[in-house]
Amino acid sequence: MLFSDVEQSTRLLTRLGRAYEQALDSYRLAQRAAWAGFGGVEMGTEGDSFFVVFSTAEDAVGAAVQAQVALGGLEWPNDEQVRVRMGIHTGTPRVHGLDYVGLDVHRAARIAAAAHGGQVVVSDATAKLVAGRLPAGVSLRDLGTHRLKDLDALEHVYQLVIPGLPVDFPPLKSLGTSASLPVTTTPLLGRHTEMTDLVSLLADPQVRLVTLTGPGGSGKTRLSIAAARQVAEQFPDGVCFASLAAFTNPGLIWSTIGDVLGLPSDRRAPPAFFESVAPLSALFVLDNLEQMDGAAAAVDQLLHATTEIVVLATSRRPLNLAGEHQYAVLPLALPTEDTPEAAEASAAVRLFVDRARAVRPSFALTPSNAADVSEICRHLDGLPLAIELAAARTNVLGPRALLLRLEQALDLRGSDVDRPARHTSLRATIDWSYRLLNAQQRLLFRHLGVFASGADLEALAAVHADEAGRGTQLIDLVADLVDASLVTVTEDDDGEPRFAMLETVRSFAVEELAQAGELADVRRRHAAHYVQVAERLEARRVLTTPAQVQRGGRLFDVERNNFREALTWASAPGGDAGNSAGSNRNLGLALLSSVAWIWKHVDLDEIRHWLEACLKNPHGGQTAALGRCLADYAETLELQGELLDGRDAARRSVEILRRLGDSELPNALAALGDLEGALGDRIAGRRAMEDSVLRARELADSFFLGDVLARLALLDIDEENWEHALELLHEAVGVSRSYGSDYMAIRANHNIAFVLRKTGRAKEAHELMSAQLQQSLSLESTLNLALFAEDYSAVVAEAGFPRWTPVLLGAADAELEQRGVARDRWQEAPIADAHAAARPTMTPTEWTDAYQRGHSMTIREALESAIAATTAPDD
């Protein structure tokens, strides 16, 4: 089943006027010729849309390819462009009269509706049937799983990559995936009026900013998701939901949205970010802005840089921007009487009953408890979070007992005169749950507030001050907090528990920490613990086994928000009471010096932000951590092409680490050598690199020695001192293997393959490179795999497989573009060799097609395919 239609045909009709009929005729002729050529049968045609069925999946795909190619070659009136989106699904529809009906028909239609003009999207069922039998040059790009409108099950979809036609499109217009909305697990109760108002506001073309305001726990996020889902079809480029609760830096808004939209890392900061999103007609849901100073300015900047993006924001306070439509999310409706009928009509009571049944399935609203439940909801002012916290206590307390305790604990009105009444009520609700805890439970509750993305038991033990609350009793205490619905628990990949708080509850805990005079000490212990976590990550930088790589990456992902929290504290000017800003900064530098190596592979812009934040802090002495961070900063700047500033940072690093006699001096010297050479001073570059080798030998540091020997060999390669380069590289391989670092040995062997190829030993180079790449795929970051792909592109060209050269180069370029990384200067030679060996064997069109095919593949896919195709079975 194939569905197709013209993207934004109404706008096209408006622009073309009567010429639209000519365009429509041309479009229909091209489409119908393609359908007929593959035995397609039209089941329905309306305006510019088609519903066509085929006997086989291959016929449907072939027809779609032919139709898109034909449309791409047509000339349209007034130099317009007619873009047609298509969706294909294979299933078993039911016959109804002269038509097909059933869920599979709807699935095919929804797949087409999620696509963009010029794009062909196919279902997983179709992709499996056509795999290996696609038209010449056509390939499949995995678009992942998506939740399509009105369909409960997730759909795994693919895009047809057609030679000569566009291959890059915005994210699919789908629900519940990247660029769309999270799936909610609880019903939205009592918000019919609010939904009507918000849908009307978001449908108004004059409205570009709506801010849902209200206290934490009033249901702003839940309401924003429901409203966005209701209006999603009004936005051609869909909905982007960005949860910003974990951030305080408004600059991270762009990288968060960019991550949701799948933008390359070099497009996740202004002005490139605005260039990427400017063409979009989309709804951006920005959730939890209240903790960000400067959030209003960031949203204002976004609105002024675009014309068709609408922002739906949630915040405890308005942004106070021109054109902003503030919408207060009021409490849920309360019962007007104490009768069961009035209680059942109240959204607040319905929410209480729903949440009470979640912890006590037998709970029911009855004539005997309706008045008590109604009074509980009144005391809680109808605030959803407050009601949920109270309802959780019905696992041990009935409504009457719960009401008695609620009345005793909630009488806090008027104590916070500067706070809105609803905020006071929510504070009272959380405070009530807090006051029900004993002293040890309260202490642990306060300490949990310092964790930005939850904590495991080890972290809790490190931060928790009460010696009596460690070990087995610590588990009991945190279990009590889970039972009180103040803390949530999940399991990590190893089955170990991880504990977290709702953001509103966490804010309350942090305020309690401050009032108790504990905040400075707890933040320091938090940062000190995550320095230790970072040091464990640093120990994995050797990347000896795939398991180490995977565990290191998972640990970094899980704890990244806690790293951010510690770094925010450490880089803040001034310092906490009782602690100097210098000592805070030194903890931040110690943390960064251990995680920068992995952060650089994940997000160069963000690690640069944190390095600069800590390095700019004027307090603290010239420590080893400062020197190490300066070396990391130098390498980061080099990767981003800022060589002069990078060299300055490297020189400062060398000066500090040399004076301190630090063990990482070889790394700083190697960074300086790279930058001196990149800036054209080969003599200074060699001097620094040779000094790096000497220092590594003196320190008997096999890890750094293997690395710097390989880097020094690059200077000999650059000067075509082949024999000395091989000598250094073979020593690097031996040193690295003695240290147990397959990672370093592989990198050195790759450079040996380069020398072999340059000295006329292409077959040996191919054999060595192929063997090393097989190991690299299980050990390497994708950033380093891009470098290896460039090397391999020259190897396969000279070994007799030139048609794989542009594929590898295309995949490498795509990876570097996505990462926002400048190409290493050492790669210019293998790339030039690859072009020289492969281009003469191919026509320009063949080269371009192969390059585009590689550009659409992941770096791993390209390398795996090239190895399989260029390595004989008996090798």
Q: What is the CATH number of the domain that holds 313?
A: 3.40.50.300
Per the CB < 8 A criterion, the answer to whether 109 and 88 are in contact is no
* Model confidence pLDDT, tens digit, residues 66-108: 999 998 888 878 777 788 999 999 999 998 888 899 999 999 9
Residue 21 has pLDDT above 70, yes or no: yes
For position 460, which CATH number holds? Answer: 1.10.10.10
Beta strands in 33-151, from DSSP E residues, in sequence order: 41-46, 49-53, 84-88, 94-96, 99-101, 120-123, 139-146
Give the model's pLDDT for residue 150: 62
Residue type for position 391: A
Do residues 819 and 604 lie in contact, with contact meaning Cβ atoms separated by under 8 Å? yes
Residue 780 has a pLDDT of 53
Report which secondary-structure segment, H or E, holds 155. Answer: strand 155-161
For the cut 60, the answer to whether the pLDDT of residue 662 exceeds it is yes
**Which pLDDT belongs to residue 485?**
66
- Same domain flag for 297 and 218: yes
Q: Which amino acid is at 254?
A: W
Proportion of the chain above pLDDT 90, given as a percent = 37
**What pLDDT is stored for residue 415 in this prediction?**
34
pLDDT tens digits along 6-16: 887 776 777 77
Which tokens go with 414? 């008027």
- Tokens 């390819």 belong to residue: 65
Q: Are 408 and 441 in a shared domain? A: no
CB of 682 closer than 8 Å to CB of 644: no
Q: Is residue 646 part of a domain?
A: no
Greatest mean pLDDT among 480-489, 631-640, 780-789 = 631-640
Say which residue, 548 or 765, is predicted with more confidence.
765
Other beta carbons within 10 Å of 404: 12
* Whether the predicted pLDDT of 597 surpasses 60: yes
Query: Quick check: 616 pLDDT over 50?
Result: yes
Phi, psi torsion values for 795, nearest 5 degrees: -60, -50
Instruction: Check if the beta carbon of residue 143 is closer than 8 Å to that of residue 262.
Output: no
Residue 235: pLDDT above 70?
yes
Q: Which residue has the higher pLDDT, 166 or 745?
A: 166
346: helix, strand or coil: coil
Give 336-393 pLDDT, tens digit per residue: 888 888 998 999 999 999 989 988 999 999 999 999 999 988 877 787 877 887 888 8
CB atoms within 10 A of CB 781: 19
**Least confident window among 167-181, 191-205, 213-227, 559-573:** 167-181
pLDDT at 175: 47
- In this structure, the answer to whether residues 16 and 31 fall within a common structural domain is yes
Mean pLDDT of the chain: 84
φ and ψ of 755, to 5 deg:
-65, -40
Looking at residues 778-804, what average pLDDT do you find? 82
For 158, residues 6+ apart whose C-beta sits below 8 A from its C-beta are 121, 122, 123, 124, 127, 140, 141, 142, 143
Confidence at residue 848, expressed as pLDDT on a 0 to 100 scale: 94
Confidence at 248, pLDDT banded by 50, 70, 90? confident
Q: Give residue 805's pLDDT.
A: 93
Report yes or no on 359 lying in a domain.
yes
pLDDT of residue 33: 95
Confidence of residue 646 (pLDDT cuts 50, 70, 90): very high
Closest CA to 240 of 302, 149, 295, 178: 178
Residue 765, pLDDT above cutoff 80? yes
With tokens 């690690």, the residue in question is: 607
Residue with tokens 């490139």: 272
CA 28 from chain centre, in angstroms, equals 41
In a 13 Å sphere around the CA of 48, the CA atoms on its Cβ side amount to 22
Rounded to whole angstroms, how far apart are CA atoms 784 and 776? 9
Q: What is the pLDDT of residue 601?
A: 73
Q: Is the residue at 19 inside a domain?
A: yes
Token look-up 């592109």 returns 793
User: What gap in Å lies between CA 505 and CA 798, rounded to an integer?
Assistant: 63
Give domain status of residue 683, yes or no: no
Same domain, 233 and 138: no
Interval 854-872: pLDDT, tens: 999 998 899 889 888 888 5
The SS3 call for residue 263 is coil
According to the model, what pLDDT value does residue 874 have? 44
Q: Which of 454, 489, 572, 456 lies closest to 524, judged by CA?
A: 572
Which pLDDT does position 843 carry in this prediction?
94
The pLDDT confidence band at residue 432, using thresholds 50, 70 and 90, is low
Min mean pLDDT across 26-35, 476-485, 790-799 is at 476-485
Higher model confidence: residue 707 or residue 462? Answer: 462
Average pLDDT rounded to a whole number, residues 116-144: 93
Q: How many CB atoms lie within 10 A of CB 516?
A: 12
The amino acid present at 710, given as its one-letter code, is A
Q: What is the pLDDT of residue 698?
A: 85
Please give the Cα distance from 856 to 837 (Å, whole number): 23
> How many C-beta atoms surround the C-beta of residue 233 within 10 A?
12
User: Is-contact 815 786, C-beta < 8 A?
Assistant: yes
Point out the least confidently predicted range of 196-200, 451-455, 723-727, 771-775. Answer: 771-775
Cβ partners under 8 Å of residue 629, min gap 6 = 589, 592, 593, 596, 611, 614, 615
Q: Is 736 within a domain? A: no
Contact of 329 with 365, CB cutoff 8 Å:
no
Question: Does residue 233 sit in the same domain as residue 286?
Answer: yes
Is 838 contained in some domain? yes
Q: What is the pLDDT of residues 454-512, one digit of tens each?
A: 899 999 999 986 544 455 588 888 888 887 767 888 887 777 889 988 766 788 888 89
Higher pLDDT pick, 777 / 354: 354
- Is a pLDDT exceeding 90 seen at residue 53? yes
- Among 44-48, 577-581, 652-656, which stretch is predicted with the lowest mean pLDDT? 577-581
pLDDT score at 183: 63
Domain boundary among 497, 517, 537: 517
Tell me, yes or no, whether 316 and 365 share the same domain: no
DSSP per-residue string spanning 182-218: PPP-S---S-HHHHHHHHHHHH-TT--EEEEE--TTS
d(CA 506, CA 528): 20
Q: Tell whether the torsion through CA atoms of 374, 379, 383 and 386 is positive or negative.
A: negative
CA distances from 651 to 524, 591, 594, 616, 674 (A): 31, 22, 20, 17, 12
DSSP, residue by residue, 738-805 = HHT-HHHHHHHHHHHHHHHHHTT-HHHHHHHHHHHHHHHHHH--HHHHHHHHHHHHHHHHHTT-GGGH
Is 423 in the same domain as 382?
yes
Q: Which of 297, 328, 359 is the last residue of a domain?
A: 328
- Cα radius of gyration (the chain): 31
Across the range 426-448, mean pLDDT stands at 81
Nearest to 530 by CA among 624, 454, 636: 454
- Considering the domain architecture, whether residues 320 and 346 belong to the same structural domain is answered as no
- 324, 345: one domain: no
Look at residue 333 and tell me whether its pLDDT is greater than 50: yes
Query: For residue 722, what are its two tokens?
Result: 């082949």
**327, 211 in Cβ contact below 8 A?**
yes
CB 200 within 8 A of CB 157: no
Q: What backbone torsions phi and psi does residue 101 show, to the nearest 5 degrees?
A: -135, 170
Same domain, 226 and 293: yes
Same domain, 459 and 426: no
128 Cβ contact partners less than 8 Å away, ≥ 6 residues apart: none
What's the CA gap between 441 and 461, in Å, rounded?
14
Kindly provide the b/e burial profile for residues 635-650, where b requires at least 16 CB atoms within 10 angstroms of the residue's own CB: bbbbbbebbeebbbbb
Which are the contacts of 825, defined by CB distance < 8 A and separation ≥ 6? 677, 678
| Most confident option among 362-371, 403-412, 419-428 | 362-371
Which residues contact residue 845 at a Cβ distance below 8 angstroms, ignoring those fewer than 6 apart? none
Query: SS3 string of 676-693?
Result: HHHCCCHHHHHHHHHHHH
Report how far residue 220's alpha carbon sits from residue 46's, in angstroms, rounded to the nearest whole number. Answer: 41
Within 10 Å of residue 101's Cβ, how many Cβ atoms? 12
User: Is the pLDDT at 540 greater than 60, yes or no?
Assistant: no
Q: Which alpha helices (H) appear in 572-623, and where do they start and end?
A: 581-602, 604-615
User: Any alpha helices (H) in 57-135, and if so which ranges?
Assistant: 57-72, 103-114, 124-130
Tokens 């979009």, residue located: 280
Classify residue 199: in a domain, yes or no: yes
The range of the structural domain enclosing residue 271 comes to 192-328
3-state secondary structure of 661: coil
Which of 481, 497, 517 is at the close of a domain? 517
Residue 183 lies in a domain: no
Token digits of residue 24: 């429509």
Alpha-carbon gap, residue 748 to 711, rounded angstroms? 9
pLDDT of residue 875: 40
CA distances from 334 to 143, 371, 382, 410 (A): 46, 12, 6, 18
Do 65 and 118 share a domain, yes or no?
yes
Whole-number Å distance between alpha carbons of 320 and 844: 56
Under 8 Å between Cβ of 409 and 401: no
Task: Kindly state the tokens that stand for 861.
Answer: 């896919």
Phi/psi class of residue 641: alpha, beta or left (left: φ > 0; alpha: ψ in -120 to 50)? left
Closest to 768 measured CA to CA, from 781, 757, 783, 782: 757
Q: Which of 126-140, 302-316, 409-423 has the lowest mean pLDDT?
A: 409-423
Number of domains in the chain: 5
Q: Worst-scoring range by mean pLDDT, 169-178, 418-427, 518-527?
A: 418-427
Read off the CATH number of the domain in which 65 is found.
Answer: 3.30.70.1230
